Amino acid sequence: MIKEKLEKWGQTQLLKFENELTEEEKTALYKQIEDLDFSYLNASGDDVPKGEITPIKAMTITEIENQRAKFEEEGLKILARQEVGALLLAGGMGTRLGSDNPKGMYNIGITKDVYIFQRLIENLLDVVKACGKPVPLFIMTSDKNHKATVEFLKEHKYFGYDENYIKFFMQETAPCVDLNGKILLEEKGVVATSPNGNGGWFNSLLANDEAKAMLEKFNIKWLNVFAVDNVLQRIADPAFVGATACGGYEIGSKVIRKVDPYEKVGVMCNKNGKPSIVEYIDLTEEMALQVDENGERAYNFGVILNYLFKVELLQEIKDKKLPIHIVTKKVPYVDENGQKVTPEVPNAHKFEMLCVDMIEFASSCLPFEVVREKEFAPIKNKTGVDSVESAQKLLIQNGYKL
Ligand code: UTP
């Protein structure tokens, strides 16, 4: 079976060191090969559907402020019925930050410990206090960081969150291939794999019995998906929930006004008349500078990976295939002589499905503007732009003690 699979996909090199392995290592390798989805190898990297891009209207801060009381009231009612789940995407490798631990374990405190996970959970606890009921919290990990994440949160008593309302589930992995499409070995008996991006989260949730049971038990109607790295974002934000639900949208997307027309951020738009996101590299100069009837820039609202999905929509689209993106990264591997190599330059392709690609399956999406300085402090790097330093500054500016 294993041999047939490897031959079919032209990947027999994975057994090159088979004879050097112990029986136990052999069994583990065979199991890994058997379980691994090789269909990623068919990806061309060019399967994101093309289409006619046109502007979409965002609900601006002024419009939100005018209706805030109504939105919050509605949102709090929905939250008090526990119909909103929060879903933390924490399966990434956080390679740019360069820590061996899961990104959420990173301590961003200055005079005291303040962990990224803690910051996010404390944000959510504000909402729990306001609506009077715990918000069911799902945490997606990957096989690379699951154990460390679960142990860390347990050790810190979930930073005050009721553990009965937290469910962890693991995302899937994809093989890492060299630049010629051959799957790499990370060890002589271990295939090199990486988490398959942040797009497959709903199916991974459903594949986990406990997480699925929590979804069903509370009859959760909305899932607020958010990234691990934005330490300022409001999660399960009542006004956002209220605005999305009252407006009859299938998705809400928190957006920020771009600082300049060329800012490197994905921007909300319509594609063939349906909501979508245009990546900054696909935004032409003409589009970047285009203005609407009010003289405002037409493609001016960037996404921050904080989306509210209607569960009905997720159930409808769960069998649809998301495009597979190919990214080129440095992946340590065992070469044909059995030597371990830590590459200095990118040497491998990884396969990823992305949450942004789910948006265009919906027929409606509300871009909901948030105040950038109050809700956007992503930690991607150690220093410089979108770093621990820049996030610390923003947190202090917002009154947080670090
Ligand atoms: P990023 O795109 O910033 O990736 O993830 P990353 O892996 O965290 O960081 P780098 O690129 O290696 O430095 C955005 C969000 O999506 C999650 C991340 O944990 C983060 O919350 N994510 C990313 C997953 O949950 N799974 C993945 O496979 C990739």
What letter does residue 347 receive in the DSSP assignment? -
- Read off the pLDDT of each residue in 17-35 and give the average, rounded to a whole number: 97
Dig out the tokens for 87 from the structure.
């879903």
Query: Which residue's alpha carbon is nearest to atom 7 within ligand 1?
Result: 92
Find the length of the chain: 402
Q: Which atom of ligand 1 is nearest to the CA of 381?
A: 13
Look at residue 308 in the predicted model and tell me its pLDDT: 98
Separation between Cα atoms, residue 377 and residue 400, nearest integer Å = 13
Look at residue 98 in the predicted model and tell me its pLDDT: 87
**Count of CB atoms within 10 A of residue 69's CB?**
11
Is residue 156 helix, strand or coil?
coil
Query: Which residue's alpha carbon is nearest to atom 20 within ligand 1?
Result: 227
Ligand 1 centroid–CA 53 distance in Å is 26
Look at residue 298 in the predicted model and tell me its pLDDT: 97
324: left (phi over 0), alpha (psi -120 to 50) or beta: beta
Ligand 1 centroid–CA 92 distance in Å is 4
Q: Which atom of ligand 1 is nearest to the CA of 88?
A: 21
Residue 11 banded pLDDT, cuts 50, 70, 90: very high
CATH of domain 36-51+63-254+304-355: 3.90.550.10
User: What average pLDDT does the chain have?
Assistant: 96
Q: Is residue 28 over pLDDT 90?
A: yes
Query: Which residue's alpha carbon is nearest to atom 9 within ligand 1?
Result: 94
- Give, for ligand 1, the residue of 168, 228, 357 to mutate: max count of ligand atoms closer than 8 Å to Cβ: 228
Ligand 1 centroid–CA 141 distance in Å is 10
- Give, for ligand 1, the residue of 93, 100, 204, 226 to mutate: max count of ligand atoms closer than 8 Å to Cβ: 93
CA angle at 302 for the pair 363 and 271, rounded to the nearest 5°: 35
Q: Which atom of ligand 1 is nearest to the CA of 197?
A: 28
For residue range 160-203, what is the model confidence (pLDDT) as tens digits?
A: 999 999 999 999 999 999 999 999 999 999 999 999 999 999 99
Residue 266 burial class via C-beta count within 10 angstroms: exposed 0-12, middle 13-18, buried 19 and up: buried
The answer to whether 308 and 241 have CB atoms below 8 angstroms apart is yes
For residue range 362-383, what is the model confidence (pLDDT) as tens digits?
A: 999 999 999 999 999 999 999 9
For residue range 81-92, what is the model confidence (pLDDT) as tens digits?
A: 999 999 999 999
64: left (phi over 0), alpha (psi -120 to 50) or beta: alpha
Query: Where does ligand 1 bind, in terms of residues with CB under 6 Å?
Result: 89-96, 103, 140, 171, 195-198, 227-229, 305, 380
- Read off the pLDDT of each residue in 230-259 and give the average, rounded to a whole number: 98
Dig out the tokens for 250 from the structure.
């299938």
Report the share of the chain in percent with pLDDT over 70. 100
Look at residue 1 in the predicted model and tell me its pLDDT: 85
**Which residues sit opposite 86 in a β-bridge?**
137, 224
Amino acid at 337: N
Separation between Cα atoms, residue 241 and residue 75, nearest integer Å = 5
- Give, for ligand 1, the residue of 229, 235, 325, 380 to mutate: max count of ligand atoms closer than 8 Å to Cβ: 229
- Read off the pLDDT of each residue in 83-111 and give the average, rounded to a whole number: 95
Q: In degrees rounded to 5, what are phi and psi of residue 392?
A: -60, -45
Residue 364 burial class via C-beta count within 10 angstroms: exposed 0-12, middle 13-18, buried 19 and up: middle
Residue 402 burial class via C-beta count within 10 angstroms: exposed 0-12, middle 13-18, buried 19 and up: middle
Residue 395 banded pLDDT, cuts 50, 70, 90: very high
The answer to whether 154 and 191 have CB atoms below 8 angstroms apart is no
Residue 59 banded pLDDT, cuts 50, 70, 90: very high
Look at residue 157 in the predicted model and tell me its pLDDT: 98
Q: Decide the pairing of beta strands 222-227 and 84-89.
A: parallel
Separation between Cα atoms, residue 16 and residue 20, nearest integer Å = 9
Q: Decide the pairing of beta strands 185-187 and 190-191.
A: antiparallel
For residue range 274-284, what is the model confidence (pLDDT) as tens digits?
A: 999 999 989 99
Look at residue 48 in the predicted model and tell me its pLDDT: 78
Query: Which residue's alpha carbon is nearest to atom 21 within ligand 1?
Result: 227
Ligand 1 centroid–CA 74 distance in Å is 32
- Read off the pLDDT of each residue in 201-219 and give the average, rounded to a whole number: 97
Q: Is residue 49 over pLDDT 90?
A: no
Q: Which atom of ligand 1 is nearest to the CA of 378?
A: 3
Residue 253 banded pLDDT, cuts 50, 70, 90: very high
Residue 343 banded pLDDT, cuts 50, 70, 90: very high
Ligand 1 centroid–CA 90 distance in Å is 7
Q: Is residue 204 over pLDDT 80?
A: yes
Q: In degrees rounded to 5, what are phi and psi of residue 137?
A: -120, 120
Look at residue 46 in the predicted model and tell me its pLDDT: 75
- Read off the pLDDT of each residue in 346-369 and give the average, rounded to a whole number: 96
Q: What is the pTM of this model?
A: 0.96
Helix (H), strand (E) counts: the chain? 12, 19
Look at residue 83 in the predicted model and tell me its pLDDT: 98
Dig out the tokens for 284 from the structure.
């032409």
- Read off the pLDDT of each residue in 286-293 and give the average, rounded to a whole number: 95
Ligand 1 centroid–CA 196 distance in Å is 10
Ligand 1 centroid–CA 354 distance in Å is 10
Separation between Cα atoms, residue 197 and residue 174, nearest integer Å = 9
Ligand 1 centroid–CA 93 distance in Å is 6
Q: Is residue 148 over pLDDT 80?
A: yes
Look at residue 44 in the predicted model and tell me its pLDDT: 87
Ligand 1 centroid–CA 350 distance in Å is 13
Residues 6+ apart with CB under 8 A from 365: 56, 249, 250, 251, 252, 253, 268, 275, 359
Ligand 1 centroid–CA 297 distance in Å is 29
